[in-house]
Each structure stands twice: as structure tokens, then as C-alpha cells.
């Protein structure tokens, strides 16, 4: 059985427990990221069940979240994450505005990526995302989101380079 986000009921319960421990510890995703040596977005993904924890990461996570259950640390390392989202998240104002910005600037971003890198796409797997803030000219707090993805060029699909047997043969 799955929850709205596609997580199993067990994983959803683990996410609730991990977030409760995080709250009890009074730490931020930035604090977790610094302790673990990862981006703050990745730290959040780990806590939300969207990324797999490594053994080294588990030791670091346990050091900053001392109340985390050993069983939760084990399952975070052994279960494969559900990397999906509930469509309802697009109605959340922060997510919606980020989506709006990417769609509004998307064509320009694509043109610049193609101009600077060639015909291809930015990987969302070999990818880093970090969220922070800066101060604007009038002293206002501003959000900074960095996407750092490997460029993947589109390839000409030459039959001679294909190592799999053709299903047409």
C-alpha cells in the first residue's frame, strides 16, 4: 500500500519519525548538510525518503540526530527511495513559484545551455541542488537556488555503435 506521494506506509512513517527527531534536535537541513558534507537539498531529500543514505552518511546523520532509531538508519540505507511527487505539491506556493520561474525562464535557459554546451540536456541524476539566501539592494532577503547538473549531449544513434542486437534482426 502506498501514500499519496507514492511512499510505502512504512517509509512515510519513517519520514515522520525522522522529521520529529530533527525537530526535537532543533537542527536545520543546513546543519545536517554541514555535518554530512552534502548539499542542504540532499539532506532534506534523505530525511524525506527521496535519497538513499550511505554507511558513512548514516554515522554522520546519527551524530547530529542522536534520537534517530537504528532501524530507521538501516532502512534509509537498504530501501530504494521513491523519487516521485504528489501532484498536490504543485499547489504549494513555494513549489508553484519555483515551477513558474523554471517554466517562464525555461526557453531562455534552454537556449543558453545549447549555446554554451551544444545540443543536449542537463542531467537530473548527476545533479546538485543547493538553496540559500542573499540580501538584495534594499536589504530584503532573497532566495538563491543553484542547479548544478552534468551536461549530457544528444548522440547520433549510429547502428555500428549500438552494442545490443537489433530486435529487427
Active site residues: 97, 100, 123
Spatial CB neighbours of 160, under 8 Å, sequence gap ≥ 6: none
Q: How wide is the angle at C-alpha 167 spanned by C-alphas 164 and 168, nearest 5°? A: 125
Cell of 69: 532509531
Cell of 146: 543553484
Please count the helices (runs of H) and the strands (runs of E) in the chain. Answer: 6, 2
Contact 7, 62 (CB under 8 A): no
Set of cell numbers at residue 75: 532502512
The span from the CA of 73 to the CA of 65, in Å, is 11
Report yes or no: 38 and 64 within 8 Å, Cβ to Cβ.
Answer: no
Amino acid at each position: 500500500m502506498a501514500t499519496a506521494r507514492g511512499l510505502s506506509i512504512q517509509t512515510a512513517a519513517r519520514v515522520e519519525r525522522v522529521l520529529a527527531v530533527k525537530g526535537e534536535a532543533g537542527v536545520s537541513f543546513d546543519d545536517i548538510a554541514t555535518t554530512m558534507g552534502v548539499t542542504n537539498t540532499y539532506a532534506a531529500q534523505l530525511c524525506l525518503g527521496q535519497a538513499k543514505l550511505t554507511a558513512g552518511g548514516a554515522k554522520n546523520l546519527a551524530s547530529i540526530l542522536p534520537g534517530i532509531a537504528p532501524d530507521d538508519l538501516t532502512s534509509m540505507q537498504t530501501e530504494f527511495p521513491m523519487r516521485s511527487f504528489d501532484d498536490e505539491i504543485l499547489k504549494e506556493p513555494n513549489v508553484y513559484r519555483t515551477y513558474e520561474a523554471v517554466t517562464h525562464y525555461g526557453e531562455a535557459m534552454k537556449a543558453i545551455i545549447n549555446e554554451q554546451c551544444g545540443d543536449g540536456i542537463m542531467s537530473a541524476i548527476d545533479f546538485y541542488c543547493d538553496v540559500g539566501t542573499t540580501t538584495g539592494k534594499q536589504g530584503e532577503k532573497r532566495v538563491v537556488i543553484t542547479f548544478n547538473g552534468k551536461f549530457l549531449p544528444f548522440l547520433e544513434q549510429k547502428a555500428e555503435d549500438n552494442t545490443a542486437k537489433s530486435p529487427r534482426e
